[in-house]
Amino acid sequence: MDQRHQEYVAYYEARLRNVAGNPLYPHSEAAERALYEAIRDAASLEAFRERLEQEKLEVACAVARVRDQATARAGLYEELEEPVRAGPEKAVLALLESRSFDDVQSLTEAVGAIEGEWRQRIGADETLIEEFWGDWKILEDIEESEQAIVPQGWHPERLESAARERQTGAEHFHQVTLPETRKFFPAYEPDYAALWAVRHRRKMPVADPIVERRIAGHRRYRSID
C-alpha cells in the first residue's frame, strides 16, 4: 500500500470515527464503515475507485446522512409538538423510502425541493403568531385609549387615535399581509384557533383570558369580523 493509499485509509477512518457509536447516526455509521472497509481492503486506489463507482458507496453515505438527520429532526419536532416543522423531515424520509438515487446531485436537488416547499408552509403557519404577538403593544395602546379614565374632553381625541390605529392595521393586513401570503398559498386565511396550539401558545407568556381578549381585539384591529 503506497503513501497516498494510506492517507486515504486514514481519511475514511476519520470519517467513520465521527459517527461511530452515535445513536443519531446509525445509517451513516453503516455506510461510512462500508466505505472505509472498501478503501482499506482495496488492492490499489484504482481498484477502490472502480468499487466506489460500481457500488455507489459515496451516494450511500449521502443518503444515510440525510436519512439520519431527517429522522432525528422529525423526532425532535414531534417531541416539541411542532408538526409543521416536522413536515419536511417526514417528507424527506418518505422520499428516501420511495426513490433510489444514483448520484449525490439528484439527492441534493430532491431534498432541496422539499425543503423549499415546506419553507413556505412553515412561513404561512407562523405568519399569524408573528404578527399577532408583534401587534400586542398596539392592541394594548388601543385598549388604553378607549378605556382609560380621563377627563371627558379628552375622549374624542383618544377615540380618534384608536380609530386611526385600527385603520392602519386593517390596511396593512388586507393590502400587504394577505396578498403576500396568498402568493404562495392562495387559500390562506388567518386561523386564530391555531394560536392555541402548543407551538404558538408557548410564545405568549400571558394568561388565557388575556390571550382571548387580545384575539378579539386583533380581529377587530384587522377588520376581519
Decide: helix, strand or coil at residue 100: coil
pLDDT tens, 15-58? 999 999 999 999 999 999 999 999 999 989 999 999 999 999 99
For range 149-174, the mean pLDDT: 85
Q: Average pLDDT of the chain?
A: 93
| pLDDT value of residue 174 | 94
Q: What angle do helix axes 104-134 and 83-98 make, rounded to 10 degrees?
A: 170
Considering only CA atoms, which of 98, 92, 99 is closest in space to residue 117?
92
| pLDDT value of residue 184 | 85
For range 129-147, the mean pLDDT: 91
- Which of 29-33, 143-147, 166-170 shows the lowest mean pLDDT across its residues? 143-147
Q: What is the 3-state secondary structure (H, E, C) of 114-171?
A: HHHHHHHHHHHHHHHHHHHHHCHHHHHHHHHHHHCCCCHHHHHHHHHHHHHHHHHHHH
| pLDDT value of residue 97 | 95
- Which of 103-117, 179-193, 195-209 shows the lowest mean pLDDT across its residues? 179-193
For range 175-199, the mean pLDDT: 92
17: CB partners within 8 A, 6+ apart: none
6: CB partners within 8 A, 6+ apart: none
The pTM (predicted TM-score) of the whole model is 0.85
Q: What angle do helix axes 45-55 and 26-41 make, rounded to 10 degrees?
A: 140
Whether the pLDDT of residue 161 is over 90: the answer is no
